[in-house]
Amino acid sequence: MPSRAPGKWRFARTGDYISQKAGRSWGHRQSAPGGRASRHDRAASGGGRGASWRRPRGPGVGSLEAARLRASGGPGAEPMSSSVAGPDCCGGFGNVDFRQADLCVMTRLLGYVDPSDPCFVAAILTITFNPLFWNVVARWEQRTRKLSKVFRSPYLACYSLGAAILLLNVLRSHCFTQAMLSQPKMESLDNPTAYRVGLALLGIGSTFVLSSFFALGFTGTFLGDYFGILMEARVTTFPFNILDNPMYWGSTANYLGWAIMHASPTGLLLTVVVALIYMVAIQYEEPFTAQIYQQKASSSRKRS
């Protein structure tokens, strides 16, 4: 039992005693024969002779007893509005502990994920690092041409960066999978239907990634325009006629399908991180790439 202050304990026991006395007294207050109200009923209802000879009492035991009688719904009890009854029954919203609110969805999802797990931390780091790496290196190359000078060819430099990006993506996928396997599954996703949905997403994502690669070529896929290897015209064939940046969104669909196939809430959370990182990368890459091709167009006009 929770501890109480001595004064509150005495008051609570006094209230219980009065409530019991009121209940016993109420059991003997039967209506008089012939439908006439008894003296006790007239006194409780405030009518008849009881109201004339009883003097008003201040707040105390009598008023507390009368309040309990009115709250019990006995004869002569006045209807009590919800605005008054609310505090009497539960103390109003002031006594509600919102810290005990059941945030079932959030609690259920976060209950599966341990952010301090080394595999989870490694997955977050690789997901964040990869786009940062290739954007920083490509912009540095576009400004300085250092890689092209080291490899004595912009194509060899682009192939080297592409190979590094592929290896980093393999490492990212490995860390992603290990993070899923090191943490528990979600029972509601561990069924054949969810597995088939994940498999379909994996197929769609792979289609976007592979078709983008074949449409762009190796140098177009792996930032060849930063090495001065520019395409003659904008690619408008599939899948670029369906959505922009299909390789990024195809990769995101791959991770989403992989997470669902493993019934992994950790994988779902990491997929959200992948999508957010790609969105940030797109915001930096698209204006810079557009600027490169604008410079090409302006130089071509000058030559002509």
Q: Residue positions in the annotated binding site?
A: 203-205, 285-286
* Distance in angstroms (rounded) separating the CA atoms of residues 94 and 100: 14
Helix axes 192-221, 246-261, angle to 10 degrees: 150
Rounded distance between C-alpha atoms, residue 116 and residue 120, angstroms: 7
The answer to whether the beta carbons of residues 175 and 123 sit under 8 Å apart is: yes
CB-based contact 256:200 (threshold 8 Å)? no
Distance set, CA 25 to CA 17, 184, 190, 287 (Å): 12, 61, 63, 86
Tokens describing residue 147: 């890689």
Instruction: Retrieve residue 279's tokens.
Output: 């969105």
For tokens 């670029």, the residue is 240
CA 86 to chain centre: 33
Distances (CA, A) of 187 to 111, 136, 202, 271, 281: 13, 41, 21, 19, 34
Provide φ and ψ at 115, rounded to 5°: -65, -20
Please measure the distance between the N-terminal and C-terminal CA atoms of the chain and give it in whole angstroms. 92
Q: CA-to-CA distance for 256 and 272, rounded, in angstroms?
A: 9
Binding residues for S-adenosyl-L-methionine: 203-205, 285-286
